[in-house]
Structure 1
């Protein structure tokens, strides 16, 4: 670990946030297996309580599959405005300790407490106090990870969930990472992990043996990232002004879809969800992005850019369908996604483009 400046970074991650909010607001759900999402044949689990997770229920799982694993599972419709309300409370607590707060989503954030408002020398004491305040003011539990950079703090927050607190101190970094299974590395997905396994990389110590040149050859631009993080190097700063670059939603179908007419029906359902997310986040962009994954796992993305900010639901449907109409589908579809990106900057001159 070769950071020039030792920072104190905390990653706070709420425990099963959506499901926990529902259990808090409805005491009858406390201690029960709860899934937030649609319970129909085509429904998808958005979040699962820890009681449900014991049965293998996970987010993004088809509701039908979730019920097979947990027949007594209780489905609850999501209440995004309520989640946002509680998220605002939690973020306000974070800001009492530092202005360097970088939200990653509605229920997690990085905090740089190297120079905190309370003048406390211990990041651990700050994390403990934040957890206490969150529990006291919202009734919910959070897990905290503490270390010298963002990569390590995020790994640490997941280490003793739920209601956990784990510290990776500077002197622990090297040995901790060497023992860490490659699947636990933030930024290493399932496909990459399988590729690493094929070449004998199972833990950090295996990854550390590979040269920068070899990792770059095997994994492209991500090779340098893997080379650095296995040595505990992550110079990314906590950015309180990080700008959202896009809003999107997607769905993996229970059964592959083979014709465009059915695909358009599914697309309109997705656009409705996207529109709600745009309203909630107040995000406005000028590019519509369509993502398709075929049954053979080949993935394509197509986009269309217009001169103005896209805010109208019907326009999103029309633009999305126009993109779909121009596609020649080569196989049945297992996943469909749609999103909006490309915010217009002040005083920016925009040209109309069609990116195919």
Structure 2
């Protein structure tokens, strides 16, 4: 395959860092960005937290009440409502700086992007490292934000590398040290190898990347199917041929609702999901957009989450299509979990 140099840019604790920049006095305090629910009070979940708060165990997805309990001895803690308009503005300023360094720029989200710099770096990883440092310096100078950068021959490794020395890190994985780098990782560090995959491997006494390499591609396909098995075989070896692709920022529309009370009543939950579908559809019509991807995210009373999504065959703006997906999800997943 043609040699490439790919950068992955990942902003550190982005929402909380934006709040620290807006209010510098917060830098030494635990900062927790919250998604407050319509139940009122402290009902809701954590969107992100700065590293000071993370030292106490606070992390994304945790309930606000649980986070406050963890930080009960830090009376200087700041629990702030998420301000997505402000975060989007900070992101746009940063991405406009970053994209000028790329041969090909791929926007992933407010705090994340891929850059193919193969031509600008002349396939030289030392030059690519200098480009990455220039990006970090200019972003910090103009927005005060810090970001971590991973550099490697592909997207998979660059994403792993950007998280290797957070915060404010810069990690380079050259073609010659891929194997050495992979040996420093855990299976869970590889995108796409989740808990269920790890459990299945553990049942075969496979718990490390080194051990997983003892399985040939046919054994992995037999265990996980052709697509997943082939992906795992390549991923544990640091192999990835996905291109950096120019893509406009996708518009994501969502509606979030917290039930007035916990419930295992299927009819009530289904009715609540239908109401969300109707509200979401109104937003879609107002934006004059079509949608192609649909997803549902549930947080249960033990704070565990379940997420399901589906790519539709064709773009649509049909409310019936939304309801059809919701009905299919309810029948396949809610009933299983409630009975």
Q: TM-score range, shorter-chain basis?
A: 0.7 to 0.9
> Hey, what does 1:109 align to over in structure 2?
113
Could you tell me how far 1:294 is from its partner in structure 2?
A: 8.5
> For residues 192 and 279 of structure 1, do their structure 2 counterparts lie closer, same or farther at Cα, with a shift above 3 Å needed?
farther
Contact 2:151–2:158 (8 Å) recurs in 1: yes
Match for residue 34 of structure 2 among 19, 31, 37: 37
CA distance in 2 between counterparts of 1:227 and 1:326 reads 31
Whether the 8 Å CA contact 2:296–2:307 is kept in 1: the answer is: no
In structure 1, distance between residues paired with 2:293 and 2:136: 39
CA contact (8 A) 1:287 1:306 kept: no
Alignment check: 8 A CA contact 1:293 1:300 kept: no
More moved, 229-238 vs 279-288: 279-288
Structure 1 unaligned runs (5+)?
A: 335-356
- Structure 1 residues 166 and 308 mapped into 2: Cα distance closer, same or farther (>3 Å)? closer
Give distance in 1, aligned partners of 2:5 and 2:313: 41
Number of aligned residue pairs: give it: 325
Relative distance call for 1:21 and 1:264 in structure 2 (3 A) is farther
User: Is the Cα contact below 8 Å between 1:100 and 1:112 reproduced in 2?
Assistant: yes
Any conservation in 2 of the 1:207–1:230 contact (CA below 8 Å)? yes
Deviations 1:251-291 (A, max 9, x none): 89898521233664577579768977x69998532776556
Cα distance, 1:78–1:291 mapped onto 2, change above 3 Å: closer
Structure 2 residue 7 is matched with structure 1 residue 10: yes
RMSD between superposed Cα atoms in Å: 4.1
Cα distance change, pair 272–33 in 1 and its aligned pair in 2 (3 A): farther
CA distance in 2, matches of 1:43, 1:273: 20
Q: Quick check: 1:161 aligned with 2:161?
A: no
Q: Deviations over 1:295-348 (max 9, x none)?
A: 9999877999999626xxxx69x96599559956535669xxxxxxxxxxxxxx
- Deviation of 1:8 after TM superposition, in Å, equals 0.9
TM-score of the pair, normalised by structure 2 = 0.80
Gaps of 5+ in 2: none
**Which residue of structure 2 lines up, in the alignment, with residue 24 of structure 1?**
21
Relative to its length, the structure with more strand (as a share) is: 1
Q: 1:89-104 counterparts in 2 under 5 A?
A: 89-104=93-108
User: Is the partner of 1:23 in helix, strand or coil?
Assistant: helix
Query: Partners of 2:81 and 2:22 in 1: how far apart?
Result: 13
State the match for 1:56 in structure 2: 57
**Does 2:83 align with 1:75?**
no
Rounded to whole Å, the distance in 2 between the matches of 1:155 and 1:326 is 32
Shift, 1:88, TM fit: 0.9
Cα distance, 1:132 vs structure 2: 0.5
1:74 offset after TM fit, Å? Answer: 2.2
Q: Are the structure 2 counterparts of residues 151 and 275 from structure 1 closer, same or farther at C-alpha, using a change threshold of 3 Å?
A: farther
Q: Which moved more, 1:112-121 or 1:173-182?
A: 112-121
Displacement over 6 Å in runs of 4+: 117-121, 249-255, 269-276, 278-282, 291-307
Among candidates 180, 197, 200, match of residue 195 of structure 1: 200
Q: CA deviation at 1:212?
A: 0.7
Contact kept, 8 Å, 2:292 with 2:311, in 1: the verdict is no
Answer 1 or 2: which has greater helix percent.
2
Does the 8 Å CA contact 1:97/1:118 hold for their aligned counterparts?
no
- What TM-score do you get using the length of structure 1 for normalisation? 0.76
